[in-house]
């Protein structure tokens, strides 16, 4: 008989067989589907050819894979099982599975034969018993996975799964190997030598690589079909069978679960259990990884929120505080315990994106913004401290009012006197005219000084002060500055107290003159009742320290740093009544810093203010050899009256 005739005869036989006959290739795809299969299952050959079989229900898929794999390496299997019809109805069938080989004896696929099965009462009892055993096994499997907490480490979870695998399948040993790039690493094991933990091998050359290449879920390797002695698993004495299943995490192969046998043979039931265990392991691992990532993400978010300089609060759907970060407590003065479960201690914007400015009881101004969290009915409240901005705003308003007042007074005088001169020039005598002109010149000079202060303050703010540092004699600068104030003395006593010698300093003599003059002007200004104003100098820590002290209204200790800010004057006592822009000490400090110096304010005892100005001494090697000629100044070295 020719080959063509034999093939035709085989097809005729398949067509004539009443039972359903399905032939699969090595990829478990349908290559033959006879008329009996069409009648039993309801699908036509055209619908199934080249595809996996469609009639295996989901709850029997692991059993189906286990049976095919068991048949591939061993003997035929016949069992009673369940399939589904095209219309969805269940079918109780008796199924027989056998290997299909080519003329050389090589594996070519499977032949599956099905016929309807009506169980006798005794068979029905056996089936019920079988179903009960399966249900009990599934419950045990579910209990095992339920006991594995998501907050455990991955290695702990895998150890638990591997131990449960040997208990449920009767395996003599087990392990779990993890995919790491192109490498397979043994991360968990039971009933094997512990030194194997961490063993690595090439994924491509491993049994797992073979399983992945096949596209199947389980693989069975026995010493009947190949040598197992070259594998790491041969550490188990008497090893004759290795079964492994793929564990997928989030749809991708993550690792393989291995069951090793040395004393008993493996049935398709153990193979089915292995596939179910591997699938459940993937779910458990996925949950654990998701939990760990969630914990990490939350910790990351908490760290960001707690590190934020802004106050951040999360409100529940009732508007009560659920989260309150560290900055929120610092800005408001309310700790977490005092606000949790309560509304926040400030008003909220009505609409998202709207800003609300609110002053807390501790004096801080807050700018408050809210955003809704979609889907949770929660709200995030972000608030920041805008007190410096509000203070600057108030300072600017005060500056504008002060500037208007300071400039208006001399302008009023100039305008009045100039109008008088223009309208009544011939009616007033020469002396009166000269007096008016002197007053106009004096008020113009005062306005020019105010404008100079404004310009110098602007340059100080932009760090553009015209300072040219060099070596100079500070004694001379002090004497010159004091000499300029001698003609202005009326109710005050001016004293200069200097040591016999002072080292030269590094700085700008012109800037130093401005500093000393401003400190003296303030000393006179804030001593309206008169009293002594003393200027002294000495050396401390390689610096010359100049001190200007008065016996005036004094300064509150809380204002000793604020008075060096722009547009700020001391607010305690009677200091606010003295006028001015609040730029003098700001300019003084910037000029001092430009010379690598510093100015500070201190209360004087028993009353008044003491200002300290420091400059860097010049090293001995850099000092000049010539003496500076000191201009005449009233003798004050002994503390006498100037």
pLDDT of 503 reads 92
SS (H, E, C) 230-272: CCHHHHCCCCCEEEEEEEEECCEEEEEEEEEECCCCCCHHHHH
pTM greater than 0.75 (yes/no): no
Give the C-alpha separation, 585 to 564, whole Å.
5
pLDDT of 155 reads 80
pLDDT of 625 reads 40
The string of pLDDT tens digits covering residues 416-461 is: 778 888 888 888 888 888 887 887 886 777 666 656 655 555 555 5
Give the C-alpha separation, 51 to 244, whole Å.
25
**In 10 A of CB 385, how many CB atoms?**
19
Residues across the chain? 642
Q: Work out the burial of residue 136: count CB atoms within 10 Å of its CB; fewer than 13 is exposed, 13-18 middle, 19 or more buried.
A: exposed
**CB neighbour burial string for 228-251, b if at least 16 within 10 angstroms, e if fewer:** beebbbebbeebbbbbbbbbbbee
- H or E element that contains 90: strand 90-101
Q: Nearest CA to 606 among 552, 525, 530, 560?
A: 552
**In 10 A of CB 321, how many CB atoms?**
21
Both tokens of 315, joined, read 């409100």
Point out the residues of the chain with pLDDT beneath 50. 1, 3, 571-576, 625-642
Beta bridge partners of 497: 536
Q: CA triplet 486, 487, 493: central angle to 5 degrees? A: 45
Give the C-alpha separation, 568 to 399, whole Å.
9
Both tokens of 511, joined, read 């800037």
**Could you tell me the end-to-end alpha-carbon distance of the chain, in angstroms, rounded to an integer?**
143
**Mapping DSSP to helix (H, G, I), strand (E, B) and coil, where does residue 316 land?**
coil
pLDDT of 403 reads 59
pLDDT of 145 reads 58
pLDDT of 129 reads 53
Alpha helix ranges (H) inside 387-508: 387-424, 430-461, 474-485
Beta carbons of 335 and 327 less than 8 angstroms apart: no
Taking all residues of the chain, what is their mean pLDDT, rounded to a whole number? 81
């Amino acid at each position: 008989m020719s080959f063509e005739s034999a093939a035709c005869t085989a097809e005729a036989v398949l067509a004539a067989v009443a039972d359903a006959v399905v032939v699969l290739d090595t990829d478990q795809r349908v290559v033959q589907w006879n008329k009996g299969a069409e009648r039993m299952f309801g699908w036509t050959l055209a619908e199934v050819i080249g595809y996996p079989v469609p009639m295996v229900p989901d709850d029997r898929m692991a059993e189906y894979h286990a049976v095919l794999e068991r048949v591939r390496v061993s003997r035929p299997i016949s069992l009673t099982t369940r399939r589904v019809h095209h219309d969805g109805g269940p079918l109780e069938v008796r199924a027989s599975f056998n290997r299909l080989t080519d003329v050389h004896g090589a594996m070519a696929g499977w032949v599956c034969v099905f016929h309807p099965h009506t169980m006798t009462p005794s068979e029905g009892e056996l089936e019920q018993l079988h179903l009960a055993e399966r249900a009990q096994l599934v419950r045990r499997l579910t209990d095992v996975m339920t006991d594995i907490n998501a907050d455990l480490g991955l290695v702990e979870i895998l150890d638990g799964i591997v131990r449960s695998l040997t208990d449920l399948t009767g395996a003599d040993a087990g392990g779990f190997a993890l995919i790491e790039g192109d490498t397979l690493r043994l991360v968990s094991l039971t009933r094997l030598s512990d030194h194997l933990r961490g063993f690595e091998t090439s994924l491509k050359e491993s049994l797992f690589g073979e399983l992945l290449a096949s596209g199947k879920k389980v693989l069975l390797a026995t010493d009947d079909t190949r040598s197992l002695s070259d594998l790491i698993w041969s550490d188990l004495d008497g090893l004759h069978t290795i079964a492994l299943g793929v564990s997928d995490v989030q749809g991708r192969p993550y690792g393989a679960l291995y069951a090793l046998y040395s004393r008993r043979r493996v049935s398709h039931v153990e193979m089915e259990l292995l596939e179910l265990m591997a699938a459940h392991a993937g779910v458990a691992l996925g949950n654990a990884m998701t939990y760990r990532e969630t914990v990490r993400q939350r910790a990351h978010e908490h760290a960001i929120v707690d590190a934020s300089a802004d106050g951040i609060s999360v409100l529940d759907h009732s508007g009560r505080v659920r989260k309150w970060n560290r900055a929120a407590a610092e800005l408001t003065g309310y700790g977490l315990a005092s606000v949790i479960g309560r509304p926040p201690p400030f008003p909220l914007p009505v609409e998202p994106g709207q800003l609300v400015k609110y002053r807390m009881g501790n004096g801080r101004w807050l700018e408050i913004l809210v955003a809704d969290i979609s889907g949770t009915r929660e709200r995030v409240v972000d608030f920041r401290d805008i007190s410096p901005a509000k203070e600057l705003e108030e300072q600017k308003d005060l500056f504008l009012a002060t500037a208007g007042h300071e400039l208006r007074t001399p302008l009023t005088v100039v305008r009045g006197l100039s109008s008088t001169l223009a309208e009544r020039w011939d009616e007033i005598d020469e002396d009166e005219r000269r007096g008016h002109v002197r007053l106009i010149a004096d008020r113009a000079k005062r306005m020019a000084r105010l404008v100079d202060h404004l310009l110098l303050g602007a340059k100080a703010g932009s760090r553009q002060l015209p300072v040219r540092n060099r070596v100079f004699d500070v004694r001379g600068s002090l004497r010159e500055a004091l000499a300029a104030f001698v003609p202005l003395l009326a109710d005050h006593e001016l004293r200069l107290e200097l040591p016999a010698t002072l080292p030269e300093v590094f700085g700008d003599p012109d800037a130093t003159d401005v500093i000393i003059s401003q400190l003296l002007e303030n000393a006179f200004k804030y001593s309206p009742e008169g009293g002594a104003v003393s200027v002294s100098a000495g050396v401390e820590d390689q610096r010359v320290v100049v001190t200007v002290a008065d016996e005036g209204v004094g300064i509150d200790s809380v204002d000793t740093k604020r008075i060096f800010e722009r547009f700020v004057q001391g607010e305690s006592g009677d200091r606010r009544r003295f006028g001015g822009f609040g730029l003098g000490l700001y300019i003084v400090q910037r000029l001092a810093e430009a010379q690598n110096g510093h100015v500070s304010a201190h209360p004087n005892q028993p009353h008044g203010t003491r200002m300290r100005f420091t400059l860097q001494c010049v090293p001995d090697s850099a000092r000049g050899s010539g003496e500076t000629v000191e201009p005449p100044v009233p003798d004050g070295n002994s503390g006498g009256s100037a």
